[in-house]
Amino acid sequence: MNTPVDVAGRISALLRAVAAGEPTGTTTSELARATGLARPTAHRLLTTLQDQGFVDRDPSGRWLLGPELYLLGQTAAPRYDVTSLAQPIVRTLADATGESAFFSARRGNETVCLLREDGSFPVRSHVLYEGIRFPLGVASAGLVILAFLPRSEMDAFLGGADLATGYGASHDTARIRERIRQTQLEGYAVNPGLLVEGSWGVGAAVFDGDGSARWALTLTGIEQRIAPRRRELGTLLLHQAHALSQAITAARPRR
């Protein structure tokens, strides 16, 4: 018996890959490689999405997100968008520390960066930018959210994940579990240059009204500035994450 084709999964993967290529766009071949689809299949699906307004194509042939996604996003925003509450806190973190500050959201088994504010220090890390996605357990945002998930959910994710293949031996399950234990002990997560050598990150989880870790505030910068201040920055992040958690809870009643 033939296995059913997961068309919805393929389309979702394509849309995420197109989003990852914003704002310059992505070619059909690049999208096919990113999603594991044959190029003709990717092109056929992209053309159908273009007809419906979900993607657009510039004169050079590169694919971009389309206007229909913007309209749908505007409709859904009142239920999901908390960036208006997070933005002043992210700006405060950047101003107070001189580093780059971020706000990320959990989306399934990934985190997505929603906001970035750069501080006054002229040397910056460019590991994170708005729209970038990482699996849970990768980067300080993904690590701190993973650390405060229910134990069964955490174990299920780690049992099926193979982060070492994509991100190196420092992301094998045993080492991630050790970083989770340290994060739970201190309350904040530290990424000591595991993605890009010399680029450190510190993160604190933001919780919804049900006590679920759904977002994260993070700071990134060069090792020479972050490492000596990790406790200071961690404490500041915890304070601001608590304030944001309270603001979100007040604005969005418990389900």
CA-closest candidate to residue 237, choices 104, 38, 71, 68: 104
Q: What is the pLDDT of residues 93-145, one digit of tens each?
A: 999 999 999 999 998 899 999 999 998 876 666 667 788 889 999 999 999 99
Q: What is the pLDDT of residues 97-110, one digit of tens each?
A: 999 999 999 988 99
The whole-number pLDDT of residue 2 equals 47
Flag the least confident range among 18-32, 220-234, 240-254: 240-254
Global confidence as pTM: 0.75
Mean pLDDT of 4-27: 87
Flag the least confident range among 72-76, 156-160, 165-169: 72-76
CATH number, domain 7-72, options 1.10.10.10, 3.40.50.2300, 2.30.42.10, 3.40.190.10: 1.10.10.10
Domain definitions of the chain by residue range: 7-72, 81-251
CATH number, domain 81-251, options 3.30.450.40, 3.40.50.300, 2.170.130.10, 3.60.21.10: 3.30.450.40
Q: Do domains 7-72 and 81-251 have the same CATH topology?
A: no
The whole-number pLDDT of residue 124 equals 64
Q: Which residues contact 140 (CB under 8 A, 6 or more apart)?
A: 189, 190, 191, 201, 202, 203, 216, 218, 220
